[in-house]
């Protein structure tokens, strides 16, 4: 392994921590916005008058667009801060990528709509980080915390979010795995 001039800043997050981080950013008017959208959708579904239903649907569409713009604003702010830190410390940007199966399970599951929109925010964040890292010439790497980078084997999850590789004796907390792989690479 050759020495790299890049350092690795780890921001270990799990799907639950991702959601809680974005939920923290989602509080306030954004949370009330989601509640208002849900309320208007329910009212529009019950409404029998076509004119009134159309007005409710238009208002709902407007609020959904507003929610999307607010999520985009938060994503832009977070991505900017991460890239600024990476430039300051000459660090690589490493993202723990969520598997497509897990993403769709969470997206299509019975969870509330607010968390589903937070998942969309994660996708926007990943794309924005990649664009900014490329623009500023920073190394960008996406890793899966469920796959062993040495052997490509699927990591087995033990109790308390600990994982182990069946091919060799690697064993660590699931949230730390992308940071460990990134540090070994850079």
Note whether residue 150 is domain-resident.
Answer: yes
Number of domains in the chain: 1
Q: Answer yes or no: are the C-beta atoms of 182 and 92 closer than 8 Å.
A: yes
pLDDT of residue 58: 95
- The parent domain of residue 88 ranges over 7-185
Q: Within a domain: residue 89?
A: yes
pLDDT in tens, 117-139: 667 778 888 899 999 999 999 98
Residue 40 included in any domain: yes
Say what the pLDDT of residue 19 is.
44
Q: Could you tell me if residue 147 is inside a domain?
A: yes
- Using CA atoms in the order 71, 139, 94, 73, what is the torsion angle rounded to 10 degrees? -10
SS (H, E, C) 3-71: CCCCEECCCCCCHHHHHHHHHHHHCCHHHHHHHHHHHHHHHHHHCCCHHHHHHHHHHHHHHHHHHHHHH
Q: What is the pLDDT of residue 31?
A: 63
Q: What is the structure's pLDDT at 179?
A: 76
- Give dist(CA 122, CA 144) in Å, integer: 15
pLDDT score, position 25: 47
| Spans of the chain, pLDDT less than 70 | 1-31, 99-107, 109-118, 185-186
The structure's pTM equals 0.67
The answer as to whether 2 is a domain residue is: no
Radius of gyration of the chain (CA): 20
Confidence at residue 114, expressed as pLDDT on a 0 to 100 scale: 61
Residue 132 lies in a domain: yes
Does residue 24 belong to any structural domain of this protein?
yes
Q: What is the pLDDT of residue 60?
A: 93
Whether residue 1 lies inside any domain: the answer is no
């Amino acid at each position: 392994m050759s020495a790299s001039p890049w350092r690795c800043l780890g921001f270990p997050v799990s799907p639950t921590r991702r959601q809680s981080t974005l939920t923290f950013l989602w509080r306030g008017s954004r949370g009330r916005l989601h509640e208002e959208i849900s309320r208007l959708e329910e009212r529009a579904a019950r409404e029998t008058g076509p004119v009134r239903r159309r007005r409710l649907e238009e208002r709902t569409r407007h609020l959904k667009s507003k929610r999307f713009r607010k999520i985009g604003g938060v994503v832009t702010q977070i991505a900017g801060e991460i890239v600024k830190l990476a430039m300051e410390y000459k660090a690589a940007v490493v993202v723990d990528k969520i598997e497509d199966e897990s993403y769709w399970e969470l997206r299509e599951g019975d969870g509330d709509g607010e968390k589903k929109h937070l998942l969309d925010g994660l996708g926007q964040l990943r794309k924005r980080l990649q664009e900014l890292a490329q623009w500023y010439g920073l190394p960008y790497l996406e890793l899966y915390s469920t796959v062993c980078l040495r052997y490509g084997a699927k990591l087995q999850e033990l109790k308390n979010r600990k994982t182990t590789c069946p091919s060799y004796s690697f064993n660590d907390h699931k949230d730390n795995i992308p940071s460990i792989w990134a540090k070994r690479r850079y």
